[in-house]
Structure formats: C-alpha cells, structure tokens
C-alpha cells in the first residue's frame, strides 16, 4: 500500500489515518478498534519508581553446617549502589536477592531454594512505590514447604504512619494475584499483548515485566531483555521501558490482526456445525461478561487506591486544620474565662464602692452624745456653743469634716462602672469568638472523622481478594471473535462476511498506521541505546567491541575483533555483561529523553561469576555506580563474593557483608 501523507501523532489523526487506509468510515473504524480493545497511546504515562527500603528474615536453620535460629534485618536501603556480599560462596547472598524478587513478584515457589524456604519463619520487606511506602509480610511455620499455607499481608503506609491493609490471605496464588494487580496498577503498566501460532493471543503482565529488573547468571542469558525470547518480548520490554509512544497500541493491534487472520485461515465448512458454534458462542459470551464485570471491580480497586492516596494527603491537611481550630478554641476559651473573671471583679468593686459611700455618709451625719466605748455622755461637746451637728465639724474630735468627699467617691464609682461596661462588651465579644472557634473545631473534627471513616471503608474493600482476569478476557475475546467468524460462514451471511472483511482491513490499517507513528522514533532511540551499550560493554571488559546495533526486531548485532556476531551466539560472560549494559542504557537514555517508564530498580546476582576478572569487575561496578549516580533515583543491588573491588566502589553503609564462615542470615 502506498504510504499516505504524514500522520498526526494524535488520537484523532491516528483514527483518521486508519479510516483512510482501510477505506471505511471513521465511525466504523472506531467501532472495530473498540471491539478489539485497541486504545490510542500517543503519550506514555509518567514513570513511577520502585525501590526497596528494608528486609527482615527470621527462622531456624536445620541440617546445615550452622544449625540454629536466625533473625537478620537489612535496613536503610535507598537510591544508589548496594551490595550483598560474603567471603565464601553459598552463604545466603543469592537467597536475599531471590527473596526480594519473590516479594515484588508475590511468588515464592521456585524463587527461593527449597532448603532456605523450609528454614524461614518470617519474611518482612518494605519498599516504596513512587514514594509511598508498602510492606509485604509473610509468616509460616519453620519446615513448612507449601507457600499456600503461609499467611501473607500486603499493606501501604497511611498519612498517620499506620499500615493500611491491601491484602490478607495465603502466601500462594492469592498473594501472587494481589501483588501483580498492585504493581501493574501503581506503576501504571499496561499488559503486553502477543500472539503466536501455538498459544494464540495472550497478554503478558507483571511476571514478565518484573523479570527485566532481575539479572542473574542463572536466568536465560539469551534473552537480551528479561528472561523470555518468544513473541518478540525483549523488544517489547525495551519499548515499554524507554517509554516509546504507541507501543501498547501497536502490540494490541498486531495481536488482534493475527487472531483474525488465523481464524479466517482455519475456517472450515460450518454449515453442519452452525448450531453448535452458536451454543459455544453463547457460553463464551457469558464467561466474557462475567470476566468483564470482574475487571470493572479491578478498575474500581485502582480508583479506590487513587482515592486512598488522595485521602492520605487530605488527612494531613485536615489534621492540621483540626489541630489549629482546636488550639484556637482553647485560646478563645481561656480568654473568655479571663475576661469573665475580670468582669466579675469589676462588678464586685462597684458594689464595694457604693457600700463604702453609703456607710461614710451615715457616719458623718451622726451626732453622738456618749462615748462609743464607755457610754459616758459628752456634756462638753453637747454644751459647746455652735455644736449643732450639721455635719461641718466632727462632734467627737472637733475637726472640720472635708468637703466634696461625696463627689470624690462618686467619681470612683463612675470609673468602676465604666470599667464594668467595657468588660461587659469585651465579654460578649469573647463569647462570640469562643462560640465561633468551637464551631470551627467541631466542623474540622467532623471532616477528619469522615475522612477516617472513608479510609477505613477503602481499606476493607482493598483487602478483599479480586482475581486477575485480564488474560482470561483476552483469550475469551479471541475465542468469541473466532466463533463469530466461523458462524458467519456457516450461516452463509453476506453481511457477516462484509463485517469480517471490514474488521480485517481496519486492523491491518491500525497495525500499519501505528507502526509508522512508532518506528521512526524507535529507530532513533535504538541507535542511541546501541551506542550507550557499546561504551558500557567496553568498560565491562569487552575492549574489542567496536560496534553494536539494535535493530527494530530487538536483535543485537555485535562487531568485535573485526567479526560480526549476534548476541545469542556470544559467550555466557559476554551476554551477561551486555544484558547489564542494556538495562543501564535503557534507563539512562529514557531518563535523558524525559519519557522513560523504567521504575529505576535493578537487582544483579553474581555478575562476577561469568569469566569476569577483578580489573574488569571493578570497572563494571564503577560504571554501574556512576550510571546510578548520574541517572539519579536509581537503586541497584548486587550480590557477589567479597573482594577489594567491591569495597572500593560500594560504601560500607551500603553493604550487607557475611564475613569468614558466617552466613548472610
């Protein structure tokens, strides 16, 4: 097909180009795309981080050269380069890394050595997802081999420092399902859709994505990225982590296209089987409806997790408001009490002054005729000329009585009354302020209680187990599409054939259009990653490497010593070096371009075990540490035997070191 004009990298431009390429109306093209759940993704979601914070393991070792109980904690993990190391082999360093990996996978069976698993009683790991602290706890009896009989809990930190339960259940499939849902939702990863002739259409989720975060000499080194080589997965993972736009759209369109093509090619003469196919389709549709309802519940859980995050932030503010309003009320209440006390004292003072004034007036008007002590008559006083008792002269002491005393007392009383009036006004205002402050404090407390109640309700909802049905839906949709196509022939329906043809054209066009939108940017990014991988590989002990090229199929061509070889044909040691280099390069390039999706976590087990000499190993560690520092926010954990090259690069506070014959735990 002749290439059309440049396609606008927008949802509308994408849909318009698909309609033009397929020769259909935009409404028809949109309907087909919705039917096969093909969603446009012109801009990848923001990258979110994942990093370990601590791990505790406890139990009792048995049938070993060092039997007995153990309880080991490795804490204060963060960004940067960390190392689990031992002076001897088989001291438990790989077990620590495998336990970390098992926790973020939610799957312990097959991830931890059988003997180590039997020894364990407690596994307690904390980790941050985009800055929010999470925790996975697993408890079992020492000697118990079945993970399903272990008790597991997954929780996240609340704003008040408490742990909010997200899952309480068994340590087997229940934990695995819940962890996968949690990681995919919190890190905002979409399933990677794929199709092959053996399994048909299917979706890869967290188990596959997480495999790219764990590098080991024991994993499938032939996979350039992750540990799966089929379905073009290494390239799909690389596309995902570098944040390439339209990747998920392309994989979904390509998968749907292959499904339709395969079902049409395999379509037999269905005239005699039409009724049977219709019955099967009815059954599949019923299962599909049930599965979609389950997905709605999962989506609702994602919404609830977002709401819980928002509530955490809100509760911080609500607590501050509640505390400040309560403090304001207490201040207002204290002020009211003080003013009330002052008012009462002032009122009593007025009463006292008025009483004193009345008593003084009465005494001054008295004309005593006898001594108050002995009752002897004052003859001289009474007989004295001018002793009229008119109040101008004291009849006892003969002194003049001061004039204006009553006016002076009246002034004091008035001043006291003015103070009472002022305090009365202040008291009324204080009562109003206290009442308003109390109302604000009560309202703030009510809002805080509502938020706490909602958090509690969300915790209960999120703790409930919901099955992972994404893969089931993809498979059922593929079955339903195939049955509809087969029934169309069996019924010899012209309209059905037309619909099938239209769907085929739309899906082909969607694959072509999306690939065009993606491939130019992809080629540019892959060229940049190829150059970074070559430079890192040379530092890691491949000095003869002069050129590396990642093609659009995710295959790596290596030129060293003048010869060209594919990645899969290199030695084990060379492949491991390149795998580490590719992982670092993907993170580095993605961060430089500002749209990578890698969570910034990398666990590398025994990188020195594959033909790596000390000098090259130290150079590798130094490059890894430098890359981690330059990229920023990246956590790299390495398991290795102790050697000076490790101590030269990894800070002592970043090491978990089993010395001599000791075990890591």
Three-class SS state of 641: strand
Number of neighbouring beta carbons within 10 Å of residue 615: 10
> Across-strand partners of 154?
136, 167
Q: Is the pLDDT of residue 59 over 60?
A: yes
Tokens of 254: 């390509």
* Structure confidence at residue 84 as a pLDDT band (50, 70, 90): very high
pLDDT at 69: 93
In this structure, of 22-36, 234-248, 356-370, 434-448, the range with the lowest mean pLDDT score is: 356-370
Three-class SS state of 48: coil
CA distances from 385 to 123, 395, 579, 624 (A): 115, 12, 132, 123
Q: Is the pLDDT of residue 2 over 50?
A: no
Tokens of 61: 């070792």
**DSSP 8-state secondary structure symbol assigned to residue 189:** P
Q: Is the pLDDT of residue 430 over 50?
A: yes
Tell which residue, 122, 137, 126, has the closest CA to residue 76.
126
Tell which residue, 100, 81, 18, has the closest CA to residue 503.
18
Tell which residue, 302, 298, 297, 315, has the closest CA to residue 454.
315
DSSP 95-164: HHHHHHHHHHHT--TTTS-HHHHHHEEEEEEEEEETTEEEEEEEE--TT---GGGSEEEEEEE-TTS-EE
Q: 244 near 525, Cβ under 8 Å?
A: yes
Question: How far apart are the C-alpha atoms of 192 and 185, rounded to whole Å?
Answer: 14
What is the average pLDDT value for the chain, to the nearest integer? 80
Q: Is the pLDDT of residue 140 over 90?
A: yes
The pLDDT tens digits of the residues spanning 536-589 come to: 888 887 888 899 998 877 788 999 888 999 988 888 778 888 888 888 888 877
Three-class SS state of 356: helix
DSSP 221-257: TTSSSSS--GGGHHHHHHHHHTT-TTHHHHHHHHHHH
> Across-strand partners of 129?
50, 132
In this structure, of 174-183, 322-331, 400-409, 426-435, the range with the lowest mean pLDDT score is: 400-409
The pLDDT tens digits of the residues spanning 258-297 come to: 877 776 665 554 444 566 777 778 888 888 887 777 666 5
Q: 249 near 18, Cβ under 8 Å?
A: no
Tell which residue, 162, 110, 147, 76, has the closest CA to residue 651.
76
In this structure, of 49-63, 196-210, 454-468, the range with the lowest mean pLDDT score is: 454-468
Tokens of 206: 């967290």
The pLDDT tens digits of the residues spanning 431-446 come to: 888 888 888 888 888 8
pLDDT at 300: 65
Question: How far apart are the C-alpha atoms of 651 and 655, rounded to whole Å?
Answer: 7
Question: How far apart are the C-alpha atoms of 101 and 602, rounded to whole Å?
Answer: 10
Tokens of 191: 């399933």
What does the pLDDT average to over 393-413? 60
The pLDDT tens digits of the residues spanning 109-119 come to: 777 888 899 99
DSSP 389-446: -SSSB-TTT-PBPPSSHHHHHHHHHHHHHHHHHHHHHHHHHHHHHHHHHHHHHHHHHH
Q: Is the pLDDT of residue 494 over 50?
A: no
Number of neighbouring beta carbons within 10 Å of residue 412: 15
DSSP 460-504: HHHHS-----HHHHHHHHHHHHHHHHHHHHHTT-HHHHHHHHHHH
In this structure, of 244-253, 299-308, 461-470, the range with the lowest mean pLDDT score is: 461-470
pLDDT at 192: 79
Tell me which of 161 and 107 has the higher pLDDT.
107
Question: How far apart are the C-alpha atoms of 638 and 618, rounded to whole Å?
Answer: 13
Q: Which residue segments constitute the domains of the chain, with CATH numbers given?
A: 299-361+404-466 (1.10.287)
* Structure confidence at residue 622 as a pLDDT band (50, 70, 90): confident
């Amino acid at each position: 097909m002749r290439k059309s004009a440049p396609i606008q990298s927008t949802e509308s431009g994408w849909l318009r180009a698909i309609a033009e390429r397929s020769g259909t109306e935009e409404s028809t093209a949109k309907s087909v795309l919705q039917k096969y759940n093909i969603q446009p993704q012109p801009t990848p979601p923001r990258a979110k981080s994942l990093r370990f914070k601590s791990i505790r393991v406890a139990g009792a070792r048995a049938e070993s050269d060092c039997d007995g109980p153990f309880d080991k904690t490795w804490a204060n993990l963060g960004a940067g380069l960390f190392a689990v190391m031992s002076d001897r082999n088989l001291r438990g360093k790989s077990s620590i890394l495998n336990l970390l990996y098992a926790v973020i996978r939610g799957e312990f069976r097959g991830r931890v050595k059988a003997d180590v698993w039997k020894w364990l009683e407690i596994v307690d790991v904390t980790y941050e997802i985009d800055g929010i602290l999470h925790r996975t706890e697993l408890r079992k009896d020492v000697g118990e081999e079945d993970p399903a009989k272990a008790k597991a809990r997954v929780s996240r930190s609340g704003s008040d420092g408490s742990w909010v339960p997200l899952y309480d259940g068994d340590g087997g499939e229940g934990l695995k399902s819940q962890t996968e849902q949690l990681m995919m939702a919190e890190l905002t990863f979409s399933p990677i859709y794929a199709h092959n002739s053996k399994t048909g259409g299917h979706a890869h989720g967290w188990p596959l994505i997480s495999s790219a975060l764990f590098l080991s000499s024991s994993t499938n080194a032939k996979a350039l990225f992750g540990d799966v080589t089929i379905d073009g997965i290494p390239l799909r993972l690389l596309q995902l982590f570098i944040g390439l736009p339209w990747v998920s759209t392309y994989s979904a369109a390509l998968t749907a296209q292959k499904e339709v093509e395969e079902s049409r090619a395999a379509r037999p003469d269905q005239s005699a089987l039409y009724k049977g196919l219709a019955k099967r389709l009815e059954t599949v549709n019923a299962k599909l409806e049930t599965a979609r309802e389950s997905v709605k519940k999962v989506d609702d859980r994602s919404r609830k997790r977002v709401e819980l995050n928002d509530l955490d932030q809100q509760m911080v503010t609500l607590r501050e408001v509640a505390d400040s309003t309560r403090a304001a009320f207490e201040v207002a209440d204290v002020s009211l009490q003080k003013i009330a006390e002052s008012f009462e004292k002032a009122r009593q003072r007025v009463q006292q002054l008025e009483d004193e004034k009345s008593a003084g007036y009465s005494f001054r008007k008295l004309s005593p005729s006898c001594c108050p002590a002995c009752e002897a008559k004052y003859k001289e006083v009474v007989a004295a000329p001018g002793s009229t008792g008119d109040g101008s002269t004291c009849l006892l002491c003969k002194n003049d009585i001061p004039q204006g005393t009553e006016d002076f007392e009246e002034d004091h009383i008035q001043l006291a009354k003015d103070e009472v009036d002022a305090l009365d006004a202040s008291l009324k205002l204080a009562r109003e302020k206290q009442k308003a402050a109390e109302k604000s404090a009560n309202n703030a407390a009510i809002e805080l209680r509502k938020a706490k109640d909602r958090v509690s309700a969300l915790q209960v909802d999120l703790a409930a187990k919901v099955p992972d049905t994404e893969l089931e839906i993809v498979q059922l949709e593929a079955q339903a599409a195939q049955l509809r196509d087969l029934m169309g022939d069996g019924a010899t329906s012209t309209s059905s054939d037309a619909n099938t043809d239209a769907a085929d054209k739309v899906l082909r066009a969607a694959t072509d259009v999306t690939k065009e939108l993606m491939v130019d940017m992809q080629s540019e990014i892959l060229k940049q990653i190829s150059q970074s991988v070559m430079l890192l590989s040379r530092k890691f002990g491949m000095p003869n490497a002069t050129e590396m090229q990642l093609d659009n199929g995710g295959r790596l061509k290596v030129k060293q010593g003048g010869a060209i070889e594919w990645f899969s044909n290199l030695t084990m040691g060379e492949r491991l070096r390149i795998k580490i280099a590719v992982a670092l390069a993907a993170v580095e390039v993605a961060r430089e371009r500002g749209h990578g999706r890698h969570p910034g976590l990398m666990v590398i087990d025994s990188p020195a075990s594959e033909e790596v000499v000390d000098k090259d190993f130290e150079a590798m560690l130094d490059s890894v540490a430098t890359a981690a520092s330059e990229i920023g926010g990246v956590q790299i954990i390495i398991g290795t035997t102790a050697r000076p090259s490790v101590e030269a690069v990894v800070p002592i506070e970043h090491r978990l070191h089993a010395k001599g014959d000791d075990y890591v735990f």
